[in-house]
Chains A and B, each alone.
Chain A
């Protein structure tokens, strides 16, 4: 039998809910908690995508240049 895949709400909504759950954590400022809430709320794929988008926004990880063929 096929399992129904769970549809997740958008990441910002999940992060906001997670941040509310982290409110009582001591020793971290709200801005630190907001970042960790995002990390905890995201799926592994979303987490890596956030990192990848950030790296690419800085101009790194550009596709490699194709090798020119010997005939050209």
Chain B
């Protein structure tokens, strides 16, 4: 499932991010399975959970729990299917990305929180006008 700022961007948040975060429903000890799959499609391994695609995009794999939100199974029930780089992929809902960032509150999250809140405000305004 696509999470983090890249998931927010495909849902309309006008921010930027340098990496793509993919949440994988596997225990952390099975990171090699993901690495092998990534290698088979031409990615270069950067670290246990980081690969670079052939065009240089860094991809982070997140195993286990994500701060501030429910389990993978619970979150995937509300995930949206969206086109990302030509593929249909599950994307964590914007409200849940916000919840996670509000919980983690890393320095980089603070600007993202504002951007996401503003977009949700615009979305709500559009809905209420319909």
Contact = CB atoms under 8 A, between A and B. Distances in A.
Contacts of B12: 36, 39-40, 42, 47
16 contacts: A21-B129, A22-B122, A25-B122, A28-B121, A32-B118, A36-B119, A37-B122, A48-B85, A51-B16, A51-B17, A60-B56, A63-B54, A63-B55, A63-B56, A64-B54, A64-B55
Nearest to A62: B56
A48 B10 contact: yes
Contacts of B86: 45
Count class of interface residues, chain B: 20 to 34
Interface of A: 21-22, 24-25, 27-28, 32-33, 35-40, 42-45, 47-48, 50-51, 54-55, 60-64
Given A36-B14, A44-B84, A47-B12, A61 B56 contact: yes
Contacts of A25: 121-122, 125
What are the nearest 3 A-B pairs in CB distance?
Answer: A39-B12, A61-B56, A39-B14
A64 B52 contact: yes
A37 B85 CA distance: 22
